Amino acid sequence: MSNALSLLQHRHSVPSRQLGEPAPDEATLHALLEAAIRVPDHGKLVPYRLILLRGDAKLRFGERLAAMAIERNPELPESNREKDRQRYTFAPLVVAVVARIDGNSKVPAIEQNLAAGCVAYNLLLGAQALGFGANWLTGWAAYDREVGGMLGLAENEHVTGFVHIGTPQIDVPDRDRPALADLLSTWTP
């Protein structure tokens, strides 16, 4: 049993700045994405989709975000401008996980959002299982409707997260984890 749980017991995120080449090749990426979309999906709504950011498109995306941020706040410090410009350029691959909420479904929106979240988490687990590193990030761009428009999102869609994938450039130490005893209780009537 310990081997079966090892991936979960050792799961950790690699900072996006520490993810470099190589990214998964096309066949490996296809297999990873196919596995990632195998999530619980009440009502079989498929309330998610994926957008890949690669190559020069990552920098162009960041440049457009920086321009938006400057337009909204001309006093934005240069360090913040540069952070927006560069934030998607470190990992060789960024996968935007998009939630597609069907407001007419009997399935509550929260369950649809959780399905999209499971896709993002499966990307983290799958990347690590394949020997890559990954990090699930959001930032202001994930919650901004204008950015959603730039990504081609429909009114019923929003970014669940940007999953950065690549090869870890450093060994990342594990962080402190909560003790199960602090989180676990048994309900008794």
Peptide bond into 168 cis (omega under 30): no
Q: What is the pLDDT of residue 58?
A: 97
Q: Which residue has the higher pLDDT, 97 or 1?
A: 97
Tell me how crowded residue 43 is: count the other CB atoms within 10 A of its CB: 14
Per the prediction, the chain carries an average pLDDT of 96
Cβ 160 vs Cβ 113: under 8 Å: yes
Q: Give the tokens for residue 158.
A: 């929003």
pLDDT tens readout for residues 146-161: 999 999 999 999 999 9
Number of other residues whose CB lies within 10 A of the CB of residue 164: 30
pLDDT for 2 equals 65
Please give the pLDDT value at position 4: 75
| Residue 107 phi, psi (nearest 5) | -75, 125
pLDDT surpassing 70 at residue 67:
yes
Helix (H) or strand (E) holding 95: strand 93-100
Whether the predicted pLDDT of 3 surpasses 90: no
Domain 21-55+94-169 fold is NADH Oxidase (3.40.109)
Helix (H) or strand (E) holding 136: strand 133-137
Residue type, 74: P
Predicted TM-score (pTM) of the model is 0.95
Give just the sign of the alpha carbon dihedral 13, 19, 22, 27: positive
Sign of CA dihedral 108, 109, 111, 112: positive
Q: What are phi and psi of 142, to 5 degrees?
A: -70, -25
For residues 68 and 3, which has the higher predicted lDDT (pLDDT)?
Answer: 68
Cα 131 versus chain centre, distance: 17
36 compared with 174, residue with greater pLDDT? 36
- What's the confidence (pLDDT) of residue 89? 97
- Kindly report the backbone phi and psi dihedral angles of residue 89, in degrees, each rounded to the nearest multiple of 5, phi listed first: -95, -10
The whole-number average pLDDT for the span 129-137 is 97
- Cβ atoms of residues 147 and 122 within 8 Å: no
Residue reference for tokens 């960041």: 62
19-43 per-position pLDDT tens digit: 999 999 999 999 999 999 999 999 9
Model confidence over 82-117: pLDDT tens digits? 999 999 999 999 999 999 999 999 999 999 999 999
Domain boundaries, the chain: 21-55+94-169
Token pair of 74 as six digits: 């001309």
Q: What is the structure's pLDDT at 1?
A: 57
Higher pLDDT, 172 or 36: 36
Q: What own/partner pairs with CB < 8 Å and gap ≥ 24 does 25-32 have?
A: 28/130, 29/93, 32/123, 32/126, 32/127, 32/130
